[in-house]
Structure 1
Amino acid sequence: MTRILSSIFYISSMRKTSQEFNSDTVIENIGYLCGRPELPELPYWERINDYLKRLDPSQLQGVVCGLVRRLLRSRVFEGSRIRGKYWQVIVDGTQLESSRRELDPKSLYRIHRKGTPEEYREYYYYVLEAKLVLRNDILVSIMTEFVENEGNEVEKQDCERKACRRLLKKQHGEFPRLPVCLSADSLYACEPFFEECRGYGYHY
């Protein structure tokens, strides 16, 4: 929970998170969100990092979805709904890391200076996020889907649109009754995307 909140509030490091959150009020509020009102203290940043290294990504996604449900049930952000009904969800991709050396068999790659003696591959990680808009300055990630290959020599790489189909399917599975208005960039301005949105009952 501490790590998720530090991302929401754009705190640059875990060390700084421990410093910023080390107050009775913050500990009490986090305890409330976690269903532990008598929470005595927050774990130090090193312990959080050690835990996250051992945690399966699917378990982490489950934690995120559980926290989002709790936030929605609290009705604190009801005023953020579009037309008093729909929750705005922004879908967007982000490149996380790049290198000339292979990062992972599933990492994407692009070829630079193709057909020349200086040709090389750039490997990179790319992730697609669905973020719930609670206020102009508060966006909460509700679903994450990596854009990744099945191996490093695939003929056709994974892409953002394919990842979006997977993401929307997972999102609808976790929040089947959530009234959603999707926002995305021009990459998604196509009939197959609109049809998929309509299939889930989403506005766009």
Structure 2
Amino acid sequence: MAVSTIFDQIIKSLRLAIQSFPDKRTGKNLTYSIEDIVLSAFSVFFIQSPSFLAYQRTMKKMNGKSNAETLFKIGKIPSDNHIRDILDNIHPERLFPVFDLIFEIFRKNGYLDAFRGINRNILIAIDGTQCFSSKKIHCKNCSTMNHRDGTITYYHSAITPVIVAPGQKHAISLCPEFITPQDGYEKQDSEIAAAKRWICKYAGKYVVRWTTILGDDLYSRQPFCEELMELGFHFILVCKRESHKTLYKLVDLLELTGDLHVVTKKVQNGRKTEIHTYRYANSLPIRDTDDALMVNWCELTICDEDGKILYRNAFITDHKITAGNVASIARSGRARWKIENENNNTLKTKGYNLEHNYGHGDNNLSTLLATLNILAFLIHTLMEFTDEKYRLVRATLPTRKTFFDDVRALTRYMCFGSWDNMMDFMLKGLEIDIPSDPG
């Protein structure tokens, strides 16, 4: 694969996937192809510019061509309202084959080897995140929160699984699962229910690659753990004392009798020395019932040399814990914070603006736009691995914001023949030697 053309290949694959989208338009409504409509929306998230299409319409009018055309292969740029109207009827799952394609690129090129934790398992962190909230705007797929003052908050949220790893700065987004009313169920959908749907859908894809699921304390309950194990997943889940009283009574008893295993290590963190203390025990009941699932428990406490606690957390797992692997298990469990910092926080605050209301619609618009946004982030991540020019520019500029500020400015005033041409222009401006294309 020619790494310098990965962007063009992904756009081509995205266009092919869009061609299978349902399109019931007839007659004059067919002025814009479904591919142009979806790619127009995608381009806004990829460039991180809500005004990108407006600028490209002006550029096309003045110069006869635009970056929408040359970069994203958009033949005609639809109006924002037309984009919203058409996208409202497209289910976000139609985009999931593109996520699968990108996962396969990571796998086939060996990039997943950098995302392995305990026992060489791929680590998938699962968490819920909100992507829309309003007290007025809503649709039939919104979740609701009733307040004491009689008001209602309408919102969309999703499970956003990501592949993470200790020491790995990147996180690989996987297909989201939206928390939305389910056919045949009167009870409102929940994060746990959505997570169960996700693991059932994707067990066949990820279990065969030896996968450990990471999650916060919400997930460390017997029904979810049993379902994970039945599907072939391993798990490392946060385990809080207040929600696992039976388990912690036994932990305290083992400590009193001297039967709780303890491992202490000195770890150099930059110029500072930290004391890492691991406590662990195997085969503890997750709850106070006769049929309680037996799990393995460990706790990590990090102190400075003066004894001040810098970090403390505990996990349950189905991996057997030993003195030799307890540090690896805790390190893998701690990697779940990346779903918030490297994934959800980036999507919300680093230019992707996941919670911004780009349009809501009556059916699928809000969730489809959120999916396009996550997909844009995933493709940016892929390009860090596969596109040397992109990686060099990103590494040279001080922040993600600087990079996208520059991209927005360049695409507003200049038309580039391809994404690769724009990377060459930026490298030249930064006085960086342009790498030769492979092959």
Residue of 193, 196, 199 corresponding to 2:224: 193
Kept in 1, the 8 Å contact 2:11–2:72? The answer is: no
Kept in 2, the 8 Å contact 1:33–1:70? The answer is: no
Counterpart of 1:138 in 2: which secondary structure?
coil
Kept in 1, the 8 Å contact 2:134–2:153? The answer is: yes
Kept in 1, the 8 Å contact 2:203–2:233? The answer is: no
Counterpart of 2:223 in 1: which secondary structure?
helix
When residues 145 and 48 of structure 1 are mapped into structure 2, their CA distance, relative to the original with a 3 A threshold, is: farther
**Structure 1 residues 1-204: aligned runs within 5 Å:** 27-31=4-8, 41-43=71-73, 56-83=91-118, 85-113=120-148, 118-133=149-164, 136-150=168-182, 156-204=187-235
TM-score of the superposed pair, with normalisation by structure 2: 0.34
- Cα distance in 2 for partners of 1:53, 1:108 equals 17
Kept in 1, the 8 Å contact 2:124–2:162? The answer is: yes
When residues 64 and 107 of structure 1 are mapped into structure 2, their CA distance, relative to the original with a 3 A threshold, is: same
Kept in 2, the 8 Å contact 1:110–1:121? The answer is: yes
- Cα distance in 1 for partners of 2:9, 2:210 equals 26
- Alignment gaps of 5+ in structure 2: 14-69, 81-85, 236-439
- Alignment gaps of 5+ in structure 1: 1-24
When residues 26 and 75 of structure 1 are mapped into structure 2, their CA distance, relative to the original with a 3 A threshold, is: closer
1:55-114, CA deviations, whole angstroms, 9 ceiling, x for partnerless residues? 64222111101210221111024132114621010000001111112511121111111x
- Cα distance in 1 for partners of 2:145, 2:172 equals 30
User: 1:29: Cα distance to partner?
Assistant: 3.6
1:6-29, CA deviations, whole angstroms, 9 ceiling, x for partnerless residues? xxxxxxxxxxxxxxxxxxx98534
The structure with higher relative contact order (CA 8 Å, sep 6+) is: 2
Kept in 2, the 8 Å contact 1:127–1:147? The answer is: yes
Counterpart AA for 1:192: P
- Cα distance in 2 for partners of 1:48, 1:87 equals 41
Counterpart AA for 1:58: E
Root mean square deviation of aligned Cα? 3.3
- Cα distance in 2 for partners of 1:142, 1:49 equals 30
Greater share of residues in helix: 2
Counterpart of 1:109 in 2: which secondary structure?
strand
The alignment-based identity, stated in percent, is 23
- Cα distance in 2 for partners of 1:42, 1:198 equals 43
Counterpart of 2:154 in 1: which secondary structure?
strand
Greater share of residues in strand: 1
Kept in 2, the 8 Å contact 1:91–1:182? The answer is: yes
Aligned length: 170
Counterpart AA for 1:98: S
User: 1:178: Cα distance to partner?
Assistant: 2.4
Counterpart of 2:146 in 1: which secondary structure?
strand
1:21-55, CA deviations, whole angstroms, 9 ceiling, x for partnerless residues? xxxx985343466799xxx85557x9699897786
Q: Which has the larger radius of gyration?
A: 2
